[in-house]
Chains A and B, each alone.
Chain A
Amino acid sequence: MAGSKVKQDMPPPGGYAAFDYKRNLPKRGLSGYSMFGIGIGIMVFGYWRLFSWNRERRRLQIEELEARIALMPLLQAEHDRRTLRMLRENLEEEAIIMKDVPGWKVGESVFHTDRWTTPLTEEIFNLRPREELLHKRFGFMWYV
């Protein structure tokens, strides 16, 4: 092996150029404290927006309640008129239906007192189709 010129893979004459091999961990970006600060700042801004909107919603809710109070006499009067009308119709139909039944007193109250007793929904909707009673009882629900 001595002296023979074999082609080997050798570095170029003058050696390789220099390259950086040291660690490169540059300090960049925000510090931890300022990132916390930005996060907390965004949260505080969010809370402020939430609280002021909640105050506004409370004012709107109060306005809705006031509107309900203002309308209540009208709605109650309408409802009462409707109830009385339906009870009157039921009474007249009962007189027609039960005229052949022996011992039946039309419009007899089941109570011993003669105070006004609020009629049940079943009493009001007795002679109507069942869907109307179900719609009155379960048609609109405030919660599910």
Chain B
Amino acid sequence: MPFVDIQSRLGINVDRWILLQSGEQPNKRPARCHAFEKEWVECSHGIGQTRAKKECQQEFEDFYECMHRQKTHRRLYAIRQQRDKMIKEGTYTPPAHHTGKGNVDP
């Protein structure tokens, strides 16, 4: 029953642990996007879905970006494309450590 939170009323936690990345994890290892998910959940807790969609837009977008990294990949791709274009035009030469021939320090 959606309006009666049975598990909190009974004080038990039967399956709520599986619903969140930020829940109990085996060996206490956090998920990659633990912080973002925690921020989003804390922001949107208890205010209802309609309000949460408006007010927690940024946290949600950060969480989504952390999970899928679409903006990151698009940005990296743009940089790579521009670099290859400039190399073809001859206006840019990559430094030694970017062509595999630089010294590899730790």
A residues lining the B interface (CB < 8 Å): 78, 81-82, 85, 89, 93-94, 96-98, 101, 108, 110-113, 115, 117-118, 120, 122-123, 126-129, 131-132
B residues lining the A interface (CB < 8 Å): 32, 35, 39, 58-59, 61-62, 65-66, 69, 71-73, 75-76, 78-80, 82-83, 86, 92, 94-95, 97-100, 105-106
Find the residue from A112, A126, A129, A132 having the highest chain B CB count within 10 A: A126
Q: How far is the CA of A131 from the CA of B104 in the complex (A)?
A: 14
Partner of A101, one of B66, B80, B82, B100: B82
Q: Which 6 A-B pairs have the closest CB atoms?
A: A110-B71, A112-B58, A129-B100, A111-B62, A127-B98, A126-B76
Q: How far is the CA of A37 from the CA of B83 in the complex (A)?
A: 79
Q: Is the CB of B62 within 8 A of A123?
A: no
Q: How far is the CA of A81 from the CA of B106 in the complex (A)?
A: 8
Q: What residue in chain B is nearest A85 (Cβ atoms)?
A: B105
In the complex where A111-B62, A131-B100 touch, is A120 in contact with B72 (Cβ < 8 A)?
yes
Q: Is the CB of B82 within 8 A of A117?
A: no
Give B57 Cβ to nearest chain A Cβ, in Å: 9
Residues on A with beta carbons closer than 8 Å to the beta carbon of B86: 97
Q: Is the CB of A78 within 8 A of B83?
A: no
User: Given A97-B79, A98-B82, list of 17 further CB < 8 A pairs?
Assistant: A89-B95, A93-B94, A94-B79, A96-B92, A97-B86, A101-B78, A110-B65, A111-B62, A112-B61, A113-B58, A113-B62, A126-B79, A126-B80, A127-B79, A127-B83, A127-B98, A128-B98
